[in-house]
Amino acid sequence: MADKKARTKKAEVKKAAAPKETKKAEVKKVEAPEKKTGGFQGVGIIASIVEIIKAGPVTLAQIKEQLAERFPDRSPESMGGTVVAQCGGKQRPLRIERERKVTLKIDGEGADRKFSL
């Protein structure tokens, strides 16, 4: 029985002891790395797509050709992927219409579709 009282007393002493101070980790501020722009400053691919469409009715293939002329340093395959992502769907509004707040006029079907503003 004395053993039981001794254990209870030790538990009470532990509860009553002041909590140990914990050290807070220092937070080091790290500067965000500068964004790389690839050295290109000016009109981007999507803005160029809108400019090309404003010029007159064009097909997806014509848009890809004109982008390849405007941006010779970029991969034609990746620019083609961007054109398809922006203008290639059937569901309206197209992505470029939603993001650039324009309404395209589309004539034709399939690969022969012509886009104009």
116 strand-pairing partners: 105
3-state helix, strand, coil split of the chain in percent (to 5) is 50, 5, 45
pLDDT in tens, 72-82: 998 889 988 98
**Structural domain count, the chain:** 1
pLDDT in tens, 35-74: 555 555 667 888 999 999 999 899 999 999 999 999 999 8
pLDDT at 39: 52
Does a structural domain hold residue 83? yes
Range of the domain at 84: 45-110
Cβ 88 vs Cβ 96: under 8 Å: no
How many Å is the maximal CA-CA distance in the chain? 99
Tokens of 7: 């254990």
Calculate the average pLDDT of the chain: 79
Does a structural domain hold residue 39? no
Does a structural domain hold residue 15? no
Does a structural domain hold residue 52? yes
Share of the chain above pLDDT 70, in %: 67
Contacts of 46 (CB under 8 A, 6+ apart): 82, 86, 96, 99, 100
